[in-house]
């Protein structure tokens, strides 16, 4: 259907414009085309939570022989039964595809990021690629949920081994694993949670990584310690079961309070900056609850981790996990991760950059290829996000402010989306049936997607130009670029900066595509390509006009990171945060999205939740909240020597595959073990000391 509209940008705008141009055509949205057929390879074996794990004491426990011989027998370490909690987490053999494992060997990761330091809860990144996922254990766990039956879907217990709701649904009592220890032997308990909550999440001067803010658990939420192993949450919303997902990676993963707290400004003379940076990458043996502890760091080369002697998880035979003694994170590039995993010099990759697909597929097709490669569903995707704040977030200059105002204009966003030729963009990444047109919002092929609720504005430059005119933009100086309306930003050319993570080829390719596609529309896009660390910092600070972003789990699983679906709190959204006055200047349709998301969080009725997400998708895509770009599958590449890799593990559904494969129960059969351990027979040393000990 075509609608004919008069450009209503004010009479002045019409002067000197031909009647034909004023009678521009804008196109109505349609439903998106069905994605080309592409079958995911691995079939998942669905189970219930209780099939995966339980917490219980076992009659006996075991550890690698060298730990007993070199450490326990020499009096350097208590016996394994005393290092484990009263009731350790026990992984059920029935859910381990290759069964109970054996000790030994190393998983060699390659990553493209670089560690800022070890203060994860103070806001420092460790360089991604599974490092922080492995170091941090969180109250609940979400990665392995890809294998949970739909009717039993609920986060896995983890540091919280069980929980119950009060009758009125406002209080959630959580029972923590009892007697578990940090990797240096210090007790873990409610004090670690309270330090994280009070002095990090709720301290406005600290910005924990992954966006944990009070709003992540609903404004007004409180957390209290009852005793060392019991805490109580009080939520405004009754039965807000959805928040259990927010307690998984990475938003409720407490740090070692016994080490961090003495550096926090509230308890020391440190500034906040000093607190954040108190544990640089060189600081070794940071206490963790995860299965491996950093023991060696060579800048731009490698991070080595050794097994945590106090790890609190076992298999059904009582073998303390992990099975793998060592973890490597080679510091290289993300593209090199694919190359090395396929070649066998690395062990693991999430093949997520389509530019590498064809080569990786070719090389892993041969029967003697060292790695197996399994494609999953199309759950990797990118969007272009406008900065929606018009009240000061990121302190824009005059031009920046004028762009924010445009970003908030429906016609402007429609113009942008209609100027994007998604089919071409997808094919420019990789030829063939991999990429699909992505209108934005919830991904097709996922549980909450509803095609009929999805508005798709197909590529149509003519209509895009008409929308731009509707937004009041016109090329007044005839140089091919539209100008800001007179009186705004000096009536200059409309220039928009696009924030790009230069660590990934895909981000760069898509950004280049956007620059090219905006030009005929009359918008000049200027790339701000920086490394991942800087991108994260600029995005956090609101210093961008537009950014191109690989979407996260909220648009695939919907139940994980749900609060990111709309600006539910002043600091929770990636592209719309409060201005200096602490206020969010939500557009009416954003308020609708917020209301829907809050209702979704409060509801446990699956029919209602499905319906709410249909409404969400409709409002999101009708209004082009984010400009969807492409959607495509990813593949898990893993060296063939590893056992216990669950079937059909997606690379990012409820979390990244590094979490989903449950690395602590992955092993290498004895006859396949390589000689990759750099610090064989050693264990992590004391916090801050130089390295491992033997
Ligand atoms: C980066 C990588 C992903 C994944 C995550 C884990 O973002 O690109 O493939 O490894 O880190 O946090």
Relative to the CA of 634, which ligand 1 atom is closest?
9
Please tell me the predicted confidence (pLDDT) of residue 24.
66
Quick check: 443 pLDDT over 60? yes
Mean pLDDT of the chain: 94
Cα 356 versus chain centre, distance:
21
Mean pLDDT calculated for residue range 99-103: 98
Pairwise CA distance, residues 1 & 130, whole Å: 48
Residue to mutate (ligand 1; options 112, 130, 335, 652; most atoms within 8 A of CB): 130
- pLDDT value of position 10: 34
Span from the CA of 382 to the centroid of ligand 1 (angstroms): 14
pLDDT digits (tens, 9 = 90+) for 315-365: 999 999 999 999 999 999 999 999 999 999 999 999 999 999 999 999 999
Going from the C-alpha of 254 to that of each of 31, 193, 250, 283, the distances in angstroms are: 44, 6, 10, 19
CA–CA distance, 564 with 553 (Å, rounded to integer): 9
Atom number in ligand 1 closest to CA 352: 9
C-beta neighbour count of 244 within 10 angstroms:
22
Residues 465-511 pLDDT 10s: 999 999 999 999 999 999 999 889 999 999 999 999 999 999 999 99
Ligand 1 mutation pick, 350, 352, 536, 650, max ligand atoms within 8 A of CB: 350
Residue 186 clears pLDDT 90, i.e. is over it: yes
CA of 327 to the centre of ligand 1 (A): 16
CA 216 to ligand 1 centroid distance, Å: 22
In the chain, pLDDT over 90 holds for what percent of residues? 92
Contact between 107 and 134 (Cβ < 8 Å): no
Q: How far apart are CA 161 and CA 143, in angstroms?
A: 17
- The 3-state DSSP composition of the chain as helix, strand, coil percent (nearest 5) reads 30, 20, 50
Regarding the beta carbon of 667 and ligand 1, being less than 6 Å apart is answered no
In this prediction, residue 9 carries a pLDDT of: 34
C-alpha to C-alpha distance for 505 and 60, rounded to whole angstroms: 50
Q: What is the mean pLDDT of residues 85-113?
A: 98
Q: Probe ligand 1: pick from 129, 135, 253, 533, max atoms within 8 Å of CB?
A: 129
Q: How confident is the model at residue 19 (pLDDT cuts 50, 70, 90)?
A: very low
Of all protein residues, whose CA lies closest to atom 4 belonging to ligand 1? 129
Q: What is the separation of C-alpha 135 from the centre of its chain, rounded to a whole number of angstroms?
A: 16
Residue of 318, 376, 326, 338 whose CA lies nearest to 645: 376
Distance (Å, rounded) from C-alpha 456 to C-alpha 46?
33
**pLDDT, tens digit, 9 for 90 and up, residues 642-693:** 999 999 999 999 999 999 999 999 999 999 999 999 999 999 999 999 999 9
Nearest Cα to 349, choosing from 374, 380, 325, 324?
A: 374
pLDDT at 38 over 60: yes
State if residue 127 touches ligand 1 by the CB under 6 angstroms criterion. no
Please give the torsion angle defined by the CA atoms of residues 90, 174, 608 and 554, in that order, rounded to the nearest 10 degrees. -70
Q: Which pair of structure tokens corresponds to residue 493?
A: 């050319």
pLDDT tens sequence across 490-503: 999 999 999 999 99
Does residue 2 register a pLDDT over 60? no
**Confidence at residue 12, expressed as pLDDT on a 0 to 100 scale:** 34
Mean pLDDT value of segment 86-94:
98
**Per-residue pLDDT, 592:** 98
User: Which ligand 1 atom sits nearest the alpha carbon of residue 651?
Assistant: 9
In the reported structure, the alpha carbon of residue 536 is separated from the centroid of ligand 1 by a whole-number distance in angstroms of 14
Q: Using CA atoms, how far apart are residues 648 and 657, in angstroms rounded to an integer? A: 10
Domains of the chain are 2-30+379-632 (3.10.105.10), 49-374+636-672 (3.40.190.10)
Binding site membership of 352 for ligand 1 (Cβ less than 6 Å): yes
The tens digit of pLDDT for each residue in 131-185 reads: 999 999 999 999 999 999 998 999 999 999 999 999 999 999 999 999 999 999 9
Q: Separation of 333 CA from ligand 1 center, angstroms? A: 12
Among 20-29, 341-350, 360-369, 443-452, name the one with the lowest average pLDDT: 20-29
Instruction: Report the C-alpha gap between 34 and 46 in whole angstroms.
Output: 27
Ligand 1 close to Cβ of residue 334 (< 6 A):
yes
pLDDT digits (tens, 9 = 90+) for 394-438: 999 999 999 999 999 999 999 999 999 999 999 999 999 999 999
Nearest CA to ligand 1 atom 3: 129
Q: What span, in angstroms and rounded, lies between the C-alpha atoms of 247 and 228? A: 19
| pLDDT on residue 6 | 34
Best probe residue, ligand 1, of 110, 114, 128 (max atoms within 8 Å of C-beta): 128
Nearest to 489 by CA among 470, 476, 480: 476
Which residue has the least CA distance to atom 1 on ligand 1? 129
Query: From the CA of 143, how far away is ligand 1's center (Å)?
Result: 13
The pLDDT of residue 41: 76
pLDDT for position 219? 87
Q: Which protein residue has the closest C-alpha to ligand 1 atom 8?
A: 129
Are 555 and 381 within 8 A, CB to CB? yes
**Cβ neighbours for 362, distance < 8 A, ≥ 6 positions apart:** none
The residue to which tokens 């999440």 are assigned: 201
Residue nearest to atom 2 of ligand 1 (CA): 129
377 lines ligand 1 (CB under 6 A): no
Q: Give dist(CA 18, CA 31) in Å, integer.
A: 33
- Cβ contact 327:292 at 8 Å: yes
* 129 CA to centre of ligand 1 in angstroms: 4
Return the pLDDT at 3.
39
């Amino acid at each position: 259907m075509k609608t004919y509209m008069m450009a209503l940008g004010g009479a002045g705008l019409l002067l000197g414009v031909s009647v034909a141009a004023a009678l521009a055509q804008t196109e109505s949205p349609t439903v998106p085309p069905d994605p080309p057929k592409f079958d995911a390879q691995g079939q998942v074996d669905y189970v219930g939570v209780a099939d995966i794990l339980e917490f219980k004491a076992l009659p006996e426990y075991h550890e690698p022989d060298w730990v007993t011989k070199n450490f326990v027998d020499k009096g350097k370490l208590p016996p394994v039964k005393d290092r484990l909690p009263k009731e350790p987490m026990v992984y059920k053999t029935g859910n381990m595809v290759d069964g109970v494992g054996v000790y030994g060997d190393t998983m060699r990761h390659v990553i493209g990021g670089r560690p800022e330091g070890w203060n994860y809860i103070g806001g420092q990144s460790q360089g991604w690629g599974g490092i922080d996922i492995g170091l941090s254990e969180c109250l609940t766990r979400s990665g392995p949920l890809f294998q949970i039956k739909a009717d039993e879907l609920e986060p896995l217990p983890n540091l919280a081994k069980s929980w119950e709701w009060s009758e009125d649904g406002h209080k959630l009592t959580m029972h923590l694993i009892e007697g578990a220890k940090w990797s240096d032997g210090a007790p873990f308990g409610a004090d670690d949670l309270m330090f994280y909550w009070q002095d990090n999440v709720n301290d406005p001067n600290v910005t924990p990584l992954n966006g944990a803010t009070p709003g992540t658990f609903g404004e007004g939420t409180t957390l209290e310690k009852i005793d060392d192993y019991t805490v109580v949450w009080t939520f405004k919303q009754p039965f807000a079961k959805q928040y259990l997902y927010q307690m998984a990676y990475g938003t409720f993963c407490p740090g070692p309070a016994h080490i961090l707290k003495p550096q926090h400004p509230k308890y020391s003379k440190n500034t906040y900056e000093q607190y954040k940076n108190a544990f640089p990458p060189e600081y070794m043996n940071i206490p963790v609850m995860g299965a491996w502890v950093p023991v060696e760091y060579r800048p731009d080369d490698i991070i080595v981790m050794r097994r945590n002697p106090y790890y609190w998880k076992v298999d059904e035979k009582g073998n303390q996990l992990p099975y793998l003694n060592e973890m490597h994170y080679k510091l290289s590039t993300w593209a090199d991760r694919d190359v090395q995993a396929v070649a066998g010099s690395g062990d693991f990759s999430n093949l997520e950059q389509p530019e590498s697909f064809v080569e990786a597929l070719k090389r892993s097709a041969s029967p003697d290829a060292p790695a197996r490669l399994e494609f999953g569903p199309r759950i990797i995707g990118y969007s272009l996000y406008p900065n929606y704040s018009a009240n000061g977030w990121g302190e824009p200059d005059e031009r920046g402010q004028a762009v924010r105002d445009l970003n908030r204009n429906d016609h402007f966003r429609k113009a942008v989306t209609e100027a994007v030729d998604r089919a071409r963009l997808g094919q420019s990444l990789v030829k063939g049936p991999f990429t699909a047109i992505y209108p934005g919002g919830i991904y097709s092929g996922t549980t909450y997607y509803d095609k009929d609720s999805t508005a798709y504005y197909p590529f149509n430059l003519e209509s895009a130009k008409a929308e731009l005119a509707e937004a009041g933009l016109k090329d007044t100086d005839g140089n091919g670029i539209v100008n800001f309306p007179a009186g705004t930003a000096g009536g200059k050319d409309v220039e928009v900066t696009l924030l790009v993570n230069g660590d990934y080829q895909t981000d760069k390719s898509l950004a280049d595509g956007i620059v090219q596609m905006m030009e005929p529309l009359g918008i000049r896009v200027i790339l701000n390509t920086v490394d991942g660390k800087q991108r994260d910092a600029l995005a956090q600070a609101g210093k961008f006009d537009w950014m191109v972003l690989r979407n996260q789990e909220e648009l695939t699983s919907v139940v994980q990171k749900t609060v990111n679906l709309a600006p539910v709190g002043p600091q929770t959204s990636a592209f719309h945060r409060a201005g200096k006055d602490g206020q969010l200047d939500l557009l009416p349709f954003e308020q609708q999205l917020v209301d829907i998301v809050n209702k979704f969080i409060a509801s446990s009725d699956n029919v209602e939740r499905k319906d709410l997400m249909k409404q969400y998708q409709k409002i999101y895509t009708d209004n082009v909240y984010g400009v969807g770009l492409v959607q495509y599958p990813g593949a898990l590449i893993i060296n063939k020597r590893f056992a216990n890799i669950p079937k059909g593990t997606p690379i990012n559904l409820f979390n990244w595959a590094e979490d989903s494969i449950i690395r602590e129960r992955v092993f290498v059969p004895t006859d396949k073990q390589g000689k990759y351990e750099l610090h064989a027979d050693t264990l992590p040393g004391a916090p801050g000391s130089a390295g491992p000990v033997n």
